[in-house]
Amino acid sequence: MLLTITADRSDVLEDASDLGYLLHKHPERVQAFDVVGGTATVLYPEVSAERTTVALVLEVDPIALVRGRRRQHEGFSLAQYVNDRPYAATSLLSVAMGKVFRTALGGRCDARPHLVDAALDLTVELPAAPGADLVERMFAPLGWTVDATAVALDPEVPAWGDSAYATVRLTGRLRLRDALNHLYTLVPVLDGGKHYWVGPDEVDKLVRSGEGWLAAHPERELITRRYLAHQREMVDAARTRLEELDDRPDVPAEEASERPLVAVRHDAVMAQVERLRPATVLDLGCGQGALLRRLLELQGVQHVVGAEVSDVALSTAAKRLHVDRMTERQASRLDLWLSSLQYQDDRLRGFDLAVLMEVVEHVDPERLPAVTANVFSAMRPATVVVTTPNAEHNVLYPNLEPGGMRHPDHRFEWTRAELAAWADGVATTYGYTVELLPVGEEHPQHGAPTQMAVFREEVAA
């Protein structure tokens, strides 16, 4: 079983051999790792400043893989020993990636931190991947150019046709961490099965590895069902969590039997924008631009700015909004700026309205006071709309562990009382009034799933 990843020199990656730093694997060493069912070896068949390739070779021992199992494999008696596991890219490869490239999957590189969020020119090759009919559907929506060539059952007998396997080549300009997480998540989906028991923690793994892309993937439902081995309760749990993270453009109510929470949240924010009628709007943490689209459609809004710390998310937002096809007048109403809430940015001062939709809970608690001061003092918008999860509502999610949070990147989740205390403190300190509102269907005891705070600058008499 073989996987290769190649990085080419570019304007971002001046030395392609820096791929070794991002993967935490030295190009001059051959490293072997014991993994479930075999041995994974990492080596570099090509290393230069112009082009560097890393190879992950997984040697599977079919005997070791089934040792101790009592259940007989369906089909002929030797099927558990004679199968595609040693050759085709399956869930075994994902498990090996999780062990060998764990730090890179998490997006950490102390030696070259500036490259972690940089989009690199990458080529991924899988000589034998199952699910030949699915490869395009899985990878193309994520920005990959897909070349999948079906493998013939027997080249000498064309009449037999093609097998269910394909030789796959993916090319694209993506962050390495995203590329790895795409493979980690989707290879088992192509396979359609897992060699290990699927437990409740698989939901967390799916949401974590799919962060930033799975919620908006057009094949999300298929990916979720196949990744979780069609386990209904886990699929339902994953569906609920992914719907909340889905920031795709909204669907009309008449086209949806039940509107997801993300759509309800967008409606609530837009209702405030329509009520306040601002001329300039700042979307802080705009992500991939779903709210920006609706803001641009609103009459009276003259200038919309999306600010985001991830240049990859901003690039996706530009594609979704078709910035390259906007007229000069349309383009003059929109700006997409790379900016962090952690630091003051003079460009973000003085807007009529700023939106922080599901943003504050991603900030470390010890950094929140500085971020708050930056927004309410340095930026000083006339109105600020903040939405954040209501932690009290979490008990109504059956597959969320007690005390657990809805997303692995959340640093905290507030109860209604905790939001009220923070909001009152902000209003008093910075000279705003505040109104607290529920978002979504309210439970009589646990409240609505999302809570909103609307701050309005006090005007001196």
Residue 259's pLDDT band (boundaries 50, 70, 90)? low
249 pLDDT above the threshold of 60: no
Among the listed residues 283, 292, 280, 302, the one whose alpha carbon sits nearest the alpha carbon of residue 351: 280
Mean pLDDT of 379-406: 89
Q: Is the four-CA dihedral 133, 137, 140, 142 of positive or negative sign?
A: negative
Express each pLDDT in 344-370 by its tens digit: 999 999 999 999 999 999 999 999 999
Would you state the pLDDT for residue 246? 57
Separation CA 133–CA 156 (nearest Å): 23
When mean pLDDT is compared across 1-10, 133-142, 185-194, 220-229, the lowest value belongs to 185-194
Would you state the pLDDT for residue 429? 96
Would you state the pLDDT for residue 375? 96
**Top mean-pLDDT range of 210-214, 243-247, 255-259, 273-277:** 273-277
Please say which residue of 176, 196, 216 terminates a domain: 196
Among the listed residues 62, 70, 55, 41, the one whose alpha carbon sits nearest the alpha carbon of residue 7: 55
Tokens of 194: 């897992």
- Residues 52 and 64 grouped into a single domain: yes
Separation CA 310–CA 312 (nearest Å): 5
Would you state the pLDDT for residue 30? 95
Residues 151-187: b if buried by 16+ CB within 10 A, e if exposed: beeeeeeeeeeebbbbebbbbbbbbbbbbbbbbbbbb
120 pLDDT above the threshold of 70: yes
Q: Note down the domain range covering 446.
A: 253-457
Would you state the pLDDT for residue 312? 74
- Residues 65 and 208 grouped into a single domain: no
Residue 241's pLDDT band (boundaries 50, 70, 90)? low
DSSP state, 379? I
103 pLDDT above the threshold of 60: yes
283 pLDDT above the threshold of 90: yes
113 pLDDT above the threshold of 60: yes
Separation CA 203–CA 372 (nearest Å): 33
Domain count, the chain: 3
Mean pLDDT of 283-296: 89
Q: Which residue has the higher pLDDT, 315 or 184?
A: 184
Tokens of 393: 């509502």
- Residues 368 and 445 grouped into a single domain: yes
308 pLDDT above the threshold of 50: yes
Would you state the pLDDT for residue 130? 83
81 pLDDT above the threshold of 80: no
Percentage, residues of the chain above pLDDT 70: 87
Percentage, residues of the chain above pLDDT 90: 50
Do the bridges between strand 280-284 and strand 38-46 make them parallel or antiparallel, or are there none, so unpaired? Answer: unpaired
Residue 252's pLDDT band (boundaries 50, 70, 90)? very low
- Residues 54 and 74 grouped into a single domain: yes
Burial class (CB in 10 A: 0-12, 13-18, 19+), 428: exposed
- Residues 427 and 317 grouped into a single domain: yes
Stated pTM of the model: 0.57
> Got the DSSP string for 355-375?
EEES-GGGS-TTTHHHHHHII
Q: Mean pLDDT across the chain, nearest whole number?
A: 85
Q: Which residue has the higher pLDDT, 309 or 77?
A: 309
For the domain that residue 362 is a member of, what is the CATH number? 3.40.50.150
Strand order in the sheet with 120-130: 31-35, 38-46, 51-60, 2-8, 120-130, 162-174, 145-152
Please say which residue of 246, 262, 283 terminates a domain: 246
Would you state the pLDDT for residue 55? 96
401 pLDDT above the threshold of 80: no
Residue 255's pLDDT band (boundaries 50, 70, 90)? very low
Mean pLDDT of 417-444: 96
For the domain that residue 115 is a member of, what is the CATH number? 3.30.1610.20
Would you state the pLDDT for residue 244? 59
- Residues 110 and 235 grouped into a single domain: no
Please say which residue of 206, 222, 246 terminates a domain: 246
Among the listed residues 383, 406, 143, the one whose alpha carbon sits nearest the alpha carbon of residue 262: 406
- Residues 425 and 379 grouped into a single domain: yes
Mean pLDDT of 78-87: 53
Would you state the pLDDT for residue 198? 67
- Residues 226 and 258 grouped into a single domain: no
Residue 74's pLDDT band (boundaries 50, 70, 90)? very low
- Residues 168 and 263 grouped into a single domain: no
Would you state the pLDDT for residue 76? 45
- Residues 174 and 262 grouped into a single domain: no
Separation CA 205–CA 223 (nearest Å): 13
Separation CA 146–CA 411 (nearest Å): 36
- Residues 154 and 6 grouped into a single domain: yes
- Residues 207 and 72 grouped into a single domain: no
257 pLDDT above the threshold of 60: no
Separation CA 42–CA 234 (nearest Å): 33
